[in-house]
Structure 1
Amino acid sequence: MGEPHDEDLIGDDEEVAVPDPARLRSEREALRIAEALVFASAEPVSEGFIAERLPRDMDVRALMMQLKDDYAGRGVNLVQVDDHWAFRTAADLSFAIRRDETEVKKLSRAALEVLAIIAYHQPVTRAEIEDIRGVQTSKGTLDVLMEAGWVRFRGRRRTPGRPVTLGTTRDFLDHFGLEELRDLPGLEELKGAGLLSGRIPANFNIPLPLTGDDLAEDEDPITQLDLEELGLLTPGGEADE
């Protein structure tokens, strides 16, 4: 008796799923387009931007995750930054890359404290930052974080005086290798890294930061008039670089 063939193992009523060649070609072409769009951009590319240039029936997130898997383990990785994508050198190869660039000035302790408070407590006002730190926050400290592109004005709090609220930017996520704010280290991770020293109060906890660009319930959006009052617009109405 001979060996059974594949066709003998399939019942008469069963159908064999045959990949659609046209569909496969379309997906391969979509991968190539997405790869080219990210490669050609100096900044992380949004999924919306990619979707506009692909067939309407394409699942952009699934497509990008497939492309991310394709680059895993290579010298260049595809990384996700919020809902944006970018190519980055593999982190474990940083030792082999020679950087000819101007030395970046290190942030002061005060700037690091303010950045951490904004990252974990956003949306947060300047007064709330000072309340947490127990000292006044100079305008220069916030200016340094703004110039680095890591902190932005989010909106205005619906309280007397309508104070401006602060939050982090997409560049902040990109610089620190985070896909989203939920990836910020928690209490146990900070303790394990030795970043929390001394006796920690029993009720001490690390807040879960607000994700996304959506305003909180007690926030109003920043208007052009607000930006002018804050000195963020030139007389011509364009934002300062």
Structure 2
Amino acid sequence: MSEAQRPDELTRAVEAVLFAAEQPMSAVEIGEHLGGADVRDALAELASHYDGRGVELVKRGPRWHMQTAPDLAHLLRREREEPKRLTRAATECLAIIAYHEPVSRAEIESIRGVQTAKGTLDTLMEAGWVRAAGRREVPGRPVIYATTPDFLTHFGLASRRDLPGLAELRAAGLLEPVEEALEREMISPTGSDEAPDADIKDEDAERDSPPSLDMGDESA
């Protein structure tokens, strides 16, 4: 490599930090690690350099990380772990949170039309896909929920703008039976924080086996 092609020291330092990082890092975190440097140009240069290679530099939300190219990931998997399954109730909650965040539990229940067991949200939080994002400034100050960067990483999304449309979700079987409510809510603002009638039962224990979602790490 000629001197003209050799990356500058900052770009090399950013590359080294990313290779050593145990978790994806934002540009601000990388810059702070390197003494407050502005690393945006270095990240853009590295992303271009690794484009199409066996290892790629990708951005998920605000965070950057190195990963095996998706078409080569199977070469590095010696064993495939049995995927964990989300219940249909959890799948519905995840979809509602992703499209409406931040959203309260009562708002989730309003869209689904049934009460949501606390364990359903706990499952999504334990998976690392949903987080508590504060409290709604209304009477009772309910907790509101949002997706995490790990949600974007697992599903290969650069941002929530890359979420599939309703037609794609319906084709995958992830909207029925809440698709009409989702369509209505995507057109109009999310409903109030009022909980549904107390006699509406939680569907967690009543629904059939859900469509499977692999909760394993897709990146190598």
Q: TM-score range by the shorter chain?
A: 0.7 to 0.9
* Preserved CA contact (<8 Å) 2:10 2:39: no
* Equivalent residue number for residue 162 of structure 1: 141
1:31 aligned residue (11, 14, 18): 11
* Shift in Å, 1:102: 4.3
* Shift in Å, 1:159: 1.3
* Shift in Å, 1:32: 0.8
Where do residues 12-31 of structure 1 align in structure 2 (5 Å cutoff)?
A: 28-31=8-11
What whole-Å deviation, never above 9, does each CA across 1:41-71 have from its counterpart, x for those lacking one?
1100121122234576x65222212101111
Q: C-alpha distance in 2, partners of 1:180/1:113?
A: 20
- Greater RCO (CA < 8 Å, at least 6 residues apart): 2
* Equivalent residue number for residue 49 of structure 1: 29
Residue 65 (structure 2) pairs with residue 72 (structure 1): no
- Residues 83, 164 of structure 1: CA spacing in aligned structure 2 closer, same or farther, 3 A cutoff? same
Q: Between Structure 1 and Structure 2, how many residues are aligned? A: 183
TM-score scaled to structure 1, two decimals?
A: 0.66
Find runs of 4+ consecutive structure 1 residues off by over 6 angstroms.
none
Q: CA RMSD in A?
A: 2.9
Identity of aligned residues (%): 54
SS in 2 for 1:52: helix
Where do residues 3-152 of structure 1 align in structure 2 (5 Å cutoff)?
A: 28-54=8-34, 59-100=38-79, 102-152=81-131
- Residues 195, 69 of structure 1: CA spacing in aligned structure 2 closer, same or farther, 3 A cutoff? same
* Preserved CA contact (<8 Å) 1:151 1:169: yes
What whole-Å deviation, never above 9, does each CA across 1:180-235 have from its counterpart, x for those lacking one?
1112122354456675679x76x936749xxxxxxxxxxxxxxxxxxxxxxxxxxx
* Shift in Å, 1:167: 0.6
Give 1:204's aligned amino acid.
E
- Residues 144, 42 of structure 1: CA spacing in aligned structure 2 closer, same or farther, 3 A cutoff? same
- Structure 1 stretches lacking a partner, 5+ long: 1-20, 209-241
* Preserved CA contact (<8 Å) 2:92 2:174: no
* Preserved CA contact (<8 Å) 1:186 1:206: no
Q: C-alpha distance in 2, partners of 1:77/1:46?
A: 16
Q: C-alpha distance in 2, partners of 1:140/1:175?
A: 21
Shifted more, 187-196 versus 137-146: the winner is 187-196
Where do residues 216-235 of structure 1 align in structure 2 (5 Å cutoff)?
A: none
